Amino acid sequence: MRFVLTLFVLLSVINKQCHSNQTLWKNPEIVCELKEKEKPVKRFPETTEAVNAYKMADFGKRMNEKFAKSGMTVKEAKTLYKILFLNNFLTKGSYGMPSGNEIQISVEEYFKRIAILKITETEYEIYYKYASCGTNYDYLKIVIENQKITRTQTIEAWKGTYPC
């Protein structure tokens, strides 16, 4: 029941953001930054070159520029966020590190953590953030067929890490 209620709230929030289903969806700006005591790590693709906070911030800047336009209408975004949610894509978060306690992410947080770029009717690129032994920022391609995520491919991933 709570899942259905959360899904209802999710769609209500989308409706509040735009008055028309034909309006273009505006992605959130996801700030890619280090928190206190975090160290930058490029998780994918792995690299032997030195990484630093500036390179991680550049990744965030590139992503926000790329995802400034979603290529989707509000109606398409409603459908896609619903599919992601029903496929348990980033529906929980790990907080209170290092304990790693999982909590249900609020609907408002869900929208703030995921930016989507439509490539084709089945392919999308996603930039999102989540917590797991630090703050993670992932850029990936997903394929959705018959309302299921059938394939994911990480393109680039960074992390502000600290010992867990």
User: pLDDT by residue (tens digit) across 91-134?
Assistant: 666 554 555 566 677 777 788 899 999 999 999 999 999 888 78
Long-range contacts of 144-147 (CB under 8 A, 24+ apart): 144/80, 144/83, 147/83, 147/86
Contact 100/164 with Cβ under 8 angstroms?
A: yes
The pTM for the full model equals 0.82
Give kind and range of the element (H or E) at residue 61: helix 53-66
148 falls within a domain: yes
Give kind and range of the element (H or E) at residue 113: helix 107-113
Number of domains composing the chain: 1
The single residue listed with the structure tokens 């926000």 is: 64
102 falls within a domain: yes
Question: Integer distance in angstroms from the first to the last C-alpha of the chain?
Answer: 34
74 falls within a domain: yes
* pLDDT score for 147: 94
Establish how many alpha carbons lie within 13 A of residue 12's alpha carbon, considering only the half-sphere containing its beta carbon. Answer: 9
Distances (CA, A) of 62 to 57, 79, 91: 9, 26, 25
88 falls within a domain: yes
72 falls within a domain: yes
Omega before 45 cis (within 30°)? yes
106 falls within a domain: yes
Instruction: Reply yes or no on whether the pLDDT at 150 is more than 80.
Output: yes
Domain extent, residue 105, equals 2-17+38-161
26 falls within a domain: no
Which residues are within 8 A (CB) of 61 and not within 5 positions of it... i.e. 6 or more apart?
32
| Among 8-17, 125-134, 151-160, the least confident range | 8-17
24 falls within a domain: no
> Whats the size of the chain, residue-wise?
164
Instruction: Give the pLDDT mean for 29-47.
Output: 92
Which has more confidence, 5 or 56? 56
Give per-residue pLDDT as tens, 50-91. 899 999 999 999 999 999 999 999 999 989 998 998 888 886
Contact 43/159 with Cβ under 8 angstroms?
A: yes
Neighbouring C-beta atoms of residue 148, cutoff 10 Å:
10
